[in-house]
């Protein structure tokens, strides 16, 4: 009897404790989970993704989803600019000037839409790396752009300067063996982090860093230019221009304002062909998600809605993760050097950070969205976040989520860092389209009820049928527009 009473007391106490503990909003228990505002997350019915796969079955056949092309910015840019039968498939190279006088390079796809979608790249990426969104969203005018210090370049003056070093200059520093050893280590880091950006020759060229360090004040300016050039070749960035969020918001503002002005000028001169933008949307991946959210905090209303995929919480956290696992510079999805016998050593990690700060001169700062997220107004947000994201941990995402007081939504996936738009491309498009085109309550209704969702799309298709006879309409332009908007494949 005493045992029973004691056991009952324990169970009652446990239930009372559990009752007083706040329920977690996210379960992380499903393959794909959806949550919004303060409501508990729910499983996204697999049938909804199956419907998306049926609806957009041909999208993945597009050449712009070809991984080989995506990894080659030069080939991708060439494809963008190549004349095609349909003008809206052709990219245009334009540049917008920031408030501090920098040119922001863009590729613009003009579909004559009243919606403008600005797509940002990840850190060390080129704008061509996010080219898949061009075919994922054929309904919208799309801009791909490079942040300051980013982007594929066809020429490099610094390399020419290195090639023009006189023989006696090299002789002066040829005996700097200690510098050579240090430079060789730096070169190895450059090469290993370069991935497929360059060939093995980069390691040999990079070995010259050690020799050039012996130049000292004799030719420091040239040395600095060559280091910057090596960084461009190895990492795809220009350290002299990158500010890690301190000024990148000016790039975003310049792009949005510049293309809105471009459209308004065209409306004024050709009102029968163009219409002003009713909606400006942003889609940021990794680094650009971080910058986009900071930008809307500083410039309320710049975007009507933003999609943030794999969004950092702060720069110091990102730097700490890279320092702890240097391979994340090449492979942020899984890393792999955290416990490496050489690159996993603390002294090597510290040396890598020193090189980044002192030699490469990266302007690392303490910018954090903890400061900016509470200031975001007049914009709604849709997150995509991998539940086991290697670069943005759960508690970091949850902290960011809790700081936002605006209308917010999230799709929690089982995908690696920023691979959502490739691993679940059809679902990605479906959710984004619902988010872009509908009020939040309506979007939630469709994502929580597959029958409602199917009914919505059936209604969209029905508008392209003769309302009296139920037969296909004769206006092929409208029918082509429907096919393009709902199921675009290869050109």
* CA dihedral over 481, 483, 487, 491, signed as positive or negative: negative
CA dihedral 340, 343, 345, 348 (to 10 degrees): 180
Phi, psi of 141 (to 5 degrees): -70, 135
pLDDT score for 221: 57
Give the CB-side neighbour count of residue 438, counting CA atoms within 13 A: 17
Residues 6+ apart with CB under 8 A from 237: 123, 124, 149, 150, 231
pLDDT score for 437: 97
pLDDT score for 238: 84
Rounded CA-CA distance 2/439 in Å is 59
| CATH 3.40.50.1820 residue window(s) in the chain | 33-151+244-314+367-486
Fold for domain 33-151+244-314+367-486? Rossmann fold (3.40.50)
Residues 6+ apart with CB under 8 A from 246: 363, 365, 367
pLDDT score for 363: 78
Rounded CA-CA distance 254/441 in Å is 32
pLDDT score for 277: 97
Rounded CA-CA distance 473/483 in Å is 13
What pTM value is reported for the model? 0.81
Q: Which two tokens stand for residue 52?
A: 């998306």
pLDDT score for 176: 39
Rounded CA-CA distance 192/213 in Å is 21
Tell me if 383 sits within 8 A of 410, measured CB to CB: yes
Tell me if 104 sits within 8 A of 255, measured CB to CB: yes
pLDDT score for 461: 81
Report the Cα 468 to chain-centroid distance in Å.
Answer: 46
Rounded CA-CA distance 48/288 in Å is 29
- Over the chain (491 residues), the average pLDDT of each successive run of 10 is 48 45 84 98 96 93 94 95 91 97 97 96 93 96 96 57 44 42 49 44 41 46 59 71 93 98 95 93 97 97 97 94 89 91 90 79 87 96 97 97 98 97 98 98 97 92 62 45 44 41
Q: Which two tokens stand for residue 110?
A: 């003009």
pLDDT score for 119: 98
Which alpha helices (H) appear in 58-200, and where do they start and end? 67-70, 73-81, 132-136, 157-163, 167-173, 177-194
pLDDT score for 429: 98
Q: Which two tokens stand for residue 181?
A: 């050893």
Tell me if 488 sits within 8 A of 86, measured CB to CB: no
């Amino acid at each position: 009897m005493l045992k029973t009473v004691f056991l009952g007391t324990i169970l009652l106490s446990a239930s009372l404790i559990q009752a007083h503990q706040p329920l977690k909003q996210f379960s992380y228990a499903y393959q794909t989970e959806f949550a919004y505002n303060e409501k508990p997350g729910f499983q996204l019915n697999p049938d909804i993704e199956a419907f998306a796969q049926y609806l957009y079955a041909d999208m993945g056949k597009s050449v712009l989803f070809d991984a080989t092309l995506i990894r080659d910015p030069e080939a991708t840019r060439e494809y963008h600019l190549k004349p095609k039968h349909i003008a809206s498939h052709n990219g245009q190279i334009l540049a917008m000037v920031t408030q501090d006088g920098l040119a922001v390079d863009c590729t613009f796809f003009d579909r004559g839409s009243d919606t403008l979608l600005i797509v940002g790249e990840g850190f060390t990426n080129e704008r061509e790396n996010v080219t898949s969104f061009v075919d994922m969203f054929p309904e919208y005018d799309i801009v791909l752009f490079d942040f300051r210090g980013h982007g594929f370049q066809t020429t490099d003056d610094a390399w020419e300067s290195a090639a023009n070093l006189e023989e006696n200059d090299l002789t002066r520093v040829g005996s700097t063996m200690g510098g050579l050893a240090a430079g060789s280590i730096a070169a190895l880091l450059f090469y290993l982090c370069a991935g497929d950006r360059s060939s093995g020759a980069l390691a040999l060229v990079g070995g010259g860093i050690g020799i050039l360090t012996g130049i000292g004040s004799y030719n420091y300016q040239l040395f600095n230019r060559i280091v910057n050039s090596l960084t461009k070749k190895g990492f795809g960035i220009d350290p002299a221009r990158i500010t890690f969020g301190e000024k990148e918001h000016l790039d975003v503002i310049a792009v949005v304002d510049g293309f809105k002005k471009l459209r308004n000028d065209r409306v004024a001169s050709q009102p029968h062909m163009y219409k002003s933008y009713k909606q400006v949307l942003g889609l940021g991946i990794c680094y650009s998600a971080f910058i986009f959210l900071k930008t809307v905090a500083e410039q309320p209303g710049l975007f009507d809605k933003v999609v943030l995929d794999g969004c950092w919480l702060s720069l110091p956290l990102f730097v700490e993760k890279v320092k702890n696992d240097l391979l994340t510079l090449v492979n942020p999805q899984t890393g792999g050097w955290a416990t490496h016998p050489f690159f996993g050593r603390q002294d090597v990690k510290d040396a890598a950070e020193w090189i980044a700060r002192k030699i490469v001169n990266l302007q690392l700062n303490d910018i954090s969205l903890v400061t900016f997220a509470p200031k975001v107004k007049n914009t709604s947000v849709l997150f995509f976040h991998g539940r086991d994201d290697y670069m943005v941990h759960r508690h970091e995402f949850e902290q960011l989520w809790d700081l936002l007081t605006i209308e917010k939504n999230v799709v929690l996936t089982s995908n690696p860092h920023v691979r959502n738009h490739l691993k679940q491309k059809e679902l990605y498009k479906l959710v984004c389209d619902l988010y872009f085109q509908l009020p939040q309550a309506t979007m939630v209704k469709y994502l929580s009820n597959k029958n409602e969702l199917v009914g919505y799309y059936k209604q969209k298709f029905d508008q392209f049928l003769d309302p009296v006879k139920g037969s296909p309409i004769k206006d092929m332009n409208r029918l082509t527009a429907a096919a393009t908007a709902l199921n675009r494949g290869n050109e």
